[in-house]
Structure 1
Amino acid sequence: MEFSPRTALVVVDVQHDFADPEGSLFVAGGPETVPVVNALIGEAVDAGATVAYTQDWHPPSTPHFARDGGVWPVHCVGGTVGSAFHPDLDIIEGAPIVRKGVGGEDGYSGFTMRDPLSGEAIPTDLADEIRTRGATEVVVVGLALDYCVRDTALDAARLGFDTTVVA
């Protein structure tokens, strides 16, 4: 992977509930993903690229959860162990962190969320944050490929970023 100061590495949801076998929504291969992501973070930093993170961060009750009418088990409740970044994940000081679902929104993408009642798209600050830092290219890596990584990459491309997914 080639990084430059025009690149933003977006690290998606490498959190306890997804990356730890004890997590409530464990993704197979999650623990093995962490060292790969850390290597990419190191390469990005060395090249002067921006590193940004997304974090699923739900309230205790949300239409996103099955018990409240959604489809997902309770996961990544803000301030709990489940919502914490995996303890082995390298976090770059001062890097943007976008928390998804804070107000109960449905959100797989780091760039947009959806109001659970109206379905209206709600932009996050991620695009502005990385554009301000000079990014025109986005590299997306993290968990889970079939939901949050995919939607983050699709939104990055829709927003005009040259987009690459590392799977």
Structure 2
Amino acid sequence: MLIGPADALLVIDPQNDFCEGGSLAVEGGAGIMPLIDRLAARFDRVVVTQDWHTQDQISFASNHPGAAPFTEIEVVYGRQMLWPDHCIQGTSGADFHPDIASTVRKALAVIRKGYNPAVDSYSGFFENDHRTPTGLAGLLRELGVKRVFLAGLAFDYCVRFTAEDAVREGFESVVIADASRAIAPETEAAARESFLRSGVAEVSAYRLLT
């Protein structure tokens, strides 16, 4: 598959807290970082997203007495999963994994999301209220991007919703499946079913690196 000037790589939340040893670790998360670094070298346009939460983030189970992580509550904008505290601003857990350092240096922008304590954010394009934009769509249009490739963490949440919002914003959207990792098999399967309905394609890193 040829990568051209109208393509961009979106690297989704390659942060320490989502890798082994982090507070919301995704199995195999650290292992994909060198692969993402290799992929980034093939793209002229790279953008990285970063969860950037405050301690009082609405999605932290610790802010809801008696609530457990990985359960859902109802909030103003709908159903919200509760998570362990993660990617808190200024902590090592929010930092990018060291194996992705050259990708971060190359990135044209870092899109920080989830910094509003009242609204969580999975997608790199919109907060979870589905109304508040991050500015990513405008940046990509200014760069002349028509197609985005996505890699990172986690496949079934932030990669998924960024990929689907990319389609809604008028971009071709391709998830690099083996350069992403999911939190759980059930939500990974649900993401793949949703991709089929929404027009998100999947590709292997091998097709982009050879």
Same fold (TM over 0.5): yes
Q: Say if 1:96 and 1:126, in contact at 8 Å, map to a contact too.
A: no
Distance 1:5 1:31, change over 3 A: same
Q: Could you tell me how far 1:103 is from its partner in structure 2?
A: 1.6
Q: Deviations for 1:42-81, whole angstroms, at most 9, x for unmatched residues?
A: 111xxx3x10000011001111100113610000001100
**Deviation sequence 1:66-97 (CA, Å, 0-9, x none):** 01136100000011000001011021346111
- Aligned counterparts of 2:107 and 2:160: Cα–Cα separation in 1: 25
Question: Deviating runs (4+, > 2 A) in structure 1?
Answer: none
The corresponding residue for 2:105 is 92
Give the structure with the larger helix fraction.
Answer: 2
Q: Post-superposition shift, 1:22?
A: 1.2
Q: How many equivalent pairs are there?
A: 158
Shift of 1:3: 1.6
**Superposition TM-score, scaled by structure 2 size:** 0.72
Gaps of 5+ in 2: 65-80, 178-210
2:132 is paired with a residue of what secondary structure?
strand
Structure 2 SS opposite 1:73: coil
What amino acid is the match of 1:14? P
Structure 2 residue aligned with 1:77:
88
Identity among equivalent positions (%) equals 43
Call closer, same or farther: CA 1:18–1:39 in 2, change over 3 Å: same
- The structure whose Rg is larger is 2
How many Å apart are 1:2 and its aligned residue?
2.8
Q: CA deviation at 1:112?
A: 0.3
Separation in structure 2 between the aligned mates of residue 29 and residue 7 of structure 1, nearest angstrom: 27
Alignment partner, residue 28 of structure 2? 29
Name the aligned partner's letter for residue 76 of structure 1. C
Listed as ranges, the gaps of 5+ residues in structure 1 are none
Q: Where does residue 103 of structure 1 map in the other structure?
A: 116
The one-character-per-residue Cα deviations of 1:110-155 (angstroms, maximum 9, x if unpaired) are: 00003xxxx4621111111111111011101100001000000000
Q: Is the 8 A contact 1:51 1:92 kept in 2?
A: no
Letter in structure 2 aligned against 1:59? T
Q: Residue in 2 aligned with 1:160?
A: 170
| Contact 2:9–2:46 under 8 Å retained in 1 | yes
- Superposition TM-score, scaled by structure 1 size: 0.90
Amino acid of the structure 1 residue aligned with 2:9:
L
* Letter of the 2:82 counterpart: V
Partner SS state of residue 142, structure 1: strand
What does residue 59 of structure 1 align with? 54
